[in-house]
Protein backbone atom coordinates (compact mmCIF):
# COMPACT_ATOMS: atom_id res chain seq x y z
CA UNK A 1 0.00 0.00 0.00
CA UNK A 2 2.69 2.49 1.00
CA UNK A 3 4.74 1.69 -2.08
CA UNK A 4 1.67 2.30 -4.26
CA UNK A 5 1.10 5.57 -2.48
CA UNK A 6 4.68 6.67 -3.21
CA UNK A 7 4.22 5.62 -6.82
CA UNK A 8 1.03 7.62 -7.04
CA UNK A 9 2.93 10.60 -5.66
CA UNK A 10 5.53 10.25 -8.40
CA UNK A 11 2.82 10.01 -11.04
CA UNK A 12 1.24 13.19 -9.76
CA UNK A 13 4.62 14.97 -9.69
CA UNK A 14 5.32 13.96 -13.27
CA UNK A 15 1.91 14.88 -14.55
CA UNK A 16 1.95 18.15 -12.64
CA UNK A 17 5.34 19.07 -14.11
CA UNK A 18 4.18 18.19 -17.60
CA UNK A 19 0.95 20.12 -17.42
CA UNK A 20 2.78 23.00 -15.76
CA UNK A 21 5.25 23.14 -18.63
CA UNK A 22 2.41 23.09 -21.13
CA UNK A 23 0.72 25.89 -19.25
CA UNK A 24 3.96 27.88 -19.18
CA UNK A 25 4.51 27.43 -22.89
CA UNK A 26 0.92 28.31 -23.67
CA UNK A 27 1.01 31.44 -21.50
CA UNK A 28 4.19 32.62 -23.17
CA UNK A 29 2.79 31.92 -26.60
CA UNK A 30 -0.42 33.76 -25.72
CA UNK A 31 1.59 36.73 -24.52
CA UNK A 32 3.63 36.72 -27.70
CA UNK A 33 0.76 36.16 -30.11
CA UNK A 34 -2.58 37.09 -28.56
CA UNK A 35 -4.25 36.93 -31.98
CA UNK A 36 -4.08 33.09 -32.09
CA UNK A 37 -5.23 32.71 -28.49
CA UNK A 38 -8.12 30.27 -29.12
CA UNK A 39 -5.87 27.91 -31.08
CA UNK A 40 -3.24 27.95 -28.35
CA UNK A 41 -5.91 27.27 -25.74
CA UNK A 42 -7.26 24.27 -27.63
CA UNK A 43 -3.78 22.89 -28.20
CA UNK A 44 -2.95 23.45 -24.52
CA UNK A 45 -6.06 21.63 -23.35
CA UNK A 46 -5.40 18.72 -25.71
CA UNK A 47 -1.81 18.44 -24.53
CA UNK A 48 -2.80 18.63 -20.89
CA UNK A 49 -5.53 16.06 -21.46
CA UNK A 50 -3.08 13.65 -23.07
CA UNK A 51 -0.63 13.98 -20.17
CA UNK A 52 -3.52 13.54 -17.78
CA UNK A 53 -4.49 10.42 -19.71
CA UNK A 54 -1.01 8.94 -19.25
CA UNK A 55 -1.07 9.82 -15.56
CA UNK A 56 -4.48 8.21 -15.17
CA UNK A 57 -3.22 5.07 -16.92
CA UNK A 58 -0.40 4.91 -14.42
CA UNK A 59 -2.78 5.46 -11.51
CA UNK A 60 -5.11 2.73 -12.74
CA UNK A 61 -2.18 0.36 -13.22
CA UNK A 62 -0.92 1.19 -9.74
CA UNK A 63 -4.38 0.48 -8.41
CA UNK A 64 -4.59 -2.85 -10.25
CA UNK A 65 -1.09 -3.94 -9.22
CA UNK A 66 -1.83 -3.01 -5.63
CA UNK A 67 -4.90 -5.25 -5.67
Binding site residues, other proteins, CB under 8 A: 38, 42, 45-46, 49-50, 52-53, 56-57, 59-60, 63-64, 67
| Shortest Å, Cβ 54 to other proteins | 8
Between CA 46 and CA 41 the distance in angstroms is 9
- Among residues 27 and 60, whose Cβ is nearest to other proteins? 60
For residues 13 and 31, what is the distance between their CA atoms, to the nearest angstrom? 27
Least distance (Å) between residue 5 CB and other proteins:
14
Residue ranges in the chain assigned as alpha helix (H)? 2-32, 37-66
Amino acid sequence: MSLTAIGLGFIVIGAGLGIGLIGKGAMEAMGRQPEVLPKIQTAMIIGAALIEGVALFAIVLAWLVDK
